[in-house]
Amino acid sequence: MTTDTVPLARATLHYLATLTEQGYSPETVRLYRENLAQFAAFLGGLSPYMIHQHGRALRSFSTWLWRHGYLATNRLADFHPGRLPEREVEPLSQGEQQQVLAAVAQDTYADARGHAVVPTLLDSGLRASELCGLTLDGLDLDSGEVRVRRGKRARPGTWRWERARWRRCTCTCTAIARSRRCRRWTRRSS
């Protein structure tokens, strides 16, 4: 067992025993025990992903406090919540996919766009930001493949274009996911 995998309860007991050995008063040790128990109860109600997010938010806030002169030192500068394991996402069944597609109307330009977007997302597993970042340079209509810059670290990836429903635009815009006025989509585009 490494220090990264020691259960919080065990580490807390070790910490409190160390305080006692160092001569802290019984009242101080009792208060620390109660406060740490409350903290452990708070963490116990959160998923590992939420705990990770809280840690990142606290580190970011500490950095902000230090940069704006509220703290003399950035006390959480060396704190790193660590990497989370990748989550396996259960794909939608064929029936669920058909229900999603049936829910998208086809009456307007935006509806037709939705009929291109939904199968693309279902087939590829792309994130919204990755879909918005697709360009014509990454599209190979002959092989039916699309090159994608994946995620925050821009890992390249490729996926097969199974249900191509995208129309070619006559403008000079290179974005695949674009608005009626040929503006690149963002995750908040409607």
- Band of residue 169 on the pLDDT scale cut at 50, 70, 90: very low
Residue 147 CA to residue 131 CA, distance in Å, equals 11
What the block records as the tokens of 84 is: 């989370």
- Please report which helix (H) or strand (E) contains residue 157, including its range: strand 155-160
Q: Report percent pLDDT > 90 for the chain.
A: 24
User: Minimal CA–CA distance to 111: which of 176, 190, 170?
Assistant: 190
Q: What is the pTM of this model?
A: 0.45
The pLDDT score that the predictor gives to residue 34 is 94
